[in-house]
């Protein structure tokens, strides 16, 4: 799947970019609650998910009283 075919936003996730969205979708992650079940370093290991995307996800998790699994 080309990143052009990936939506700009998925589920309740903040806008983190199409490459990161693609990686999360491939892993079956489409909600913040699902993001919270992953460790930060595991997300960073996904091709397309970089430090900026993880920082954006961390801020969104914090807004909802959630954290990464680490």
44-66, pLDDT tens digit by residue? Answer: 999 999 999 999 999 999 999 99
Given this model, what pLDDT does residue 50 score? Answer: 97
Looking from the CA of 63 toward its CB, the CA atoms found within 13 Å total 10
- In the chain, domain spans: 3-63
pLDDT single digits (tens) 11-43:
899 999 999 999 999 999 999 999 999 999 999
Q: Which fold has domain 3-63?
A: DNA polymerase; domain 1 (1.10.150)
Q: For residue 4, what pLDDT is reported?
A: 67
Cβ-based burial of 29 (10 A; exposed 0-12, middle 13-18, buried ≥19): buried
pTM for the model stands at: 0.89
Res 10: pLDDT? 84
């Amino acid at each position: 799947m080309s990143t052009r075919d990936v939506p700009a936003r998925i589920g309740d996730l903040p806008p983190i970019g199409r490459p990161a969205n693609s990686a999360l979708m491939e892993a079956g992650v489409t909600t913040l609650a699902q993001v919270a079940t992953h460790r930060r370093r595991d997300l960073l290991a996904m091709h397309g998910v970089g430090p900026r995307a993880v920082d954006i996800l961390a801020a969104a998790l914090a807004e909802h009283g959630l954290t990464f699994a680490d």
